[in-house]
Structure 1
Amino acid sequence: MEEQKTHFRQIIILYYYHKGKTAVQNIRYAVYQVQITNGLSPEISSMLVQELINQLSENVSVASRNHFKSPPQSQLSAMAIHRAVTPRPSVPSEESFEEPLYIITPTYRRPEQIPELTRMAHTLMLVKNIHWLVIEDATVATKQVTTLLERTGLKFDHLIAPMPEKYKLKKGAKPRGVSNRNRGLQWIRANATKGVFYFADDDNTYDIELFDEIRKTKTVSMFPVGLCTKFGLSSPILKNGKFAGFYDGWVAGRKFPVDMAGFAVNVKFLHQRPNATMPFRAGYEEDGFLKSLAPFEPRDAQLLADNCTKVLAWHTQTKKNEPSAPLDMKLYGATNLVKLKQQIV
């Protein structure tokens, strides 16, 4: 209870001293600051926001007469108890007016899968009005992935899209993630009418600011990606504020030498190009997809991230792990290790 009271005191102080545009925006700002400081979950934070908005509406005249003094201790206690037991009200919020973001994430079963998706989930849980399309290269959805997605509280669809056998059997580099991303495009065409979609691999790292940026996308936007190729960077080049080419460590004759994490597309723009798709050609997936959005030229791209001066997406790579050794059931069959091993590939 004391911890809850402390959170409310912090929010109230931030609320009255933050110079925001509206009372609701001030509340959201204050709760967000307390969330990142104290590690509150997005669900609890959302509940706090709504509780304080309701409280503000009920007591605006009282607050005015008292010159915005903090509520008494008894009121704080009552608010905390009410928040703990009352379900979140289903009323319109500012989130309803944000353009939706559709995050398309290809994934496949491996030791790092759940850790990678867990890390990514905690980033996405901080983003408003987001729908996560997690698409496995598998014939059956992995139960652990579904369980993780359900725990996040995010809007999501867990889909499967195995790589066609002819590409699995092909020698050399495989066009990984293509069937997954094309399945995501199929879902977008069938279910989305507005907003922006973004191909976000589960082994990358994303700055929270990136999602505010890509929400601005009207056609196709582009921005830098760090830790990419031998140059350590993949980015559009701007000279005197205008597009002047691409900087990438592997051009290889590509019209669009960009990283998969370096562009986003408006949903309406995609609908206007019903034949747009990603080719099953290793190394040329991005280039092939962007060319399929014709009419669209590199100079037409909407350049984000402060004129491509900020790195907001990083092509990080987790160390590859060997599959875990089988558990000796004779020795450990009656121990906690059985359940733990079920979580490890």
Structure 2
Amino acid sequence: MTTDLGESWTMDSREMKNIDNKQDVKPWEQLLSMYPGLVVPIQESWKDPLSIRKIYMITPTKTRAEQIADLTRLAQTLYLIPNLFWIIVEDESQRTGRLHRLLQSFNLPFIHLNIATPDYLKPTKNQSTWRRPRGMHQKNIALQWVRENTSTNEDALVYFADDDNTYHWKLFQEIRKIQLVGVWPVGLVGELLYERPICLNGKVYSWFHYIYRKRKFPTDMAGFAIHLGLVHKHSNYLFNVSANSVGEQESNILGTMTSMNQLECLANNASKIYVWHTKTQSMFLTTTEKLRNAGMKYDLISEL
């Protein structure tokens, strides 16, 4: 995406006919006049001096009926965020054309990678998804790509973002403040309305959390970001992909790359919630066999 906001957008003929071309009104300016609520996030995000610091955002994703909807919602938040590079890692043995076409349609800077999660690590039919570590192979491939395609001296940040979470645009402003590792609250997680670090003068001295009480760093993956330099410094670090690693992934990476007294409390001393661990409910879909018996035939995944 270019830094000239006016040239980053196009309009169809129905919109263009209402514009006097002699006045050289840019599409982005026209958009702001139509939707004045965008003015504040656009101005704050794009004029923030810290926006010079790039964010590498890592998002694992897998084929499911809700995938397109989730990624579309997320992409529309990312339009408000300057200087962000999206690393999408698909849980498939091959990259799917349907996903790649979708990502291209967003016109956001991205790289599309893939690796399949082994069957033995997938939850069984009657097993809750949280009982298996999800997205770990995908995160590891993304870390490998980052190490191979960025400079050890680059002043940038790395953030892990699930495709079905909900993100406020102000979160990315907070991420750009990080010197080494920053932390903040996450809403709707851990059987609570929120989990959060309890901070004093910008430092963590305790945590508000309920489940997995023995975690060293009791936070969700959405609740921290790290400086790119740490990813290069700890070049051998990979997420544990074993089945018994549920609930420990955040503590493992933070315990490797930082310590409690080095954590930086962000989001107004961890008092503001800018990310929510929302989960898209899986749709009940009529089986293809029932549809065939009703004289109907379609492939939902390939048609979306």
TM value normalised by structure 2: 0.77
Show the counterpart of 1:297.
259
Q: Does 1:188 align with 2:153?
A: no
CA change 1:227–1:179 in 2 (3 A) is: same
Taking the aligned partners of 2:54 and 2:199, their CA distance within structure 1 comes to 29
CA contact (8 A) 2:183 2:266 kept: yes
- Matched ranges for 1:1-345 at <5 A: 1-5=16-20, 33-34=32-33, 36-37=35-36, 98-168=52-122, 173-193=131-151, 194=154, 195-239=156-200, 242-280=203-241, 281-293=245-257, 296-326=258-288, 328=292, 342-344=302-304
Tell me, what secondary structure is at the counterpart of 1:291? helix
Count of paired positions: 270
CA contact (8 A) 2:56 2:157 kept: yes
CA change 1:134–1:329 in 2 (3 A) is: farther
Tell me, what secondary structure is at the counterpart of 2:207? strand
Higher relative contact order at CA 8 Å, sep ≥6: structure 1 or structure 2?
2
Taking the aligned partners of 2:96 and 2:275, their CA distance within structure 1 comes to 27
Taking the aligned partners of 1:38 and 1:218, their CA distance within structure 2 comes to 31
TM value normalised by structure 1: 0.69
CA contact (8 A) 1:10 1:34 kept: no
For structure 2, the residue ranges without an aligned partner over 5 or more in a row are 1-15
CA change 1:151–1:249 in 2 (3 A) is: same
CA contact (8 A) 1:219 1:265 kept: yes
Q: Deviations over 1:103-156 (max 9, x none)?
A: 100111111111111111111122111111111111022222111100011111
Amino acid at match of 1:254: R
Taking the aligned partners of 1:325 and 1:165, their CA distance within structure 2 comes to 22
Taking the aligned partners of 1:107 and 1:122, their CA distance within structure 2 comes to 17
Deviation of 1:187 (Å): 0.9
Larger Rg: 1
Show the counterpart of 2:10.
none
Deviation of 1:32 (Å): 7.6
CA contact (8 A) 2:98 2:302 kept: no
Taking the aligned partners of 2:293 and 2:19, their CA distance within structure 1 comes to 45
Please tell me the root mean square deviation across aligned C-alpha atoms, in Å: 3.4
For structure 1, the residue ranges without an aligned partner over 5 or more in a row are 12-27, 50-92
Percent identical among aligned pairs is 33
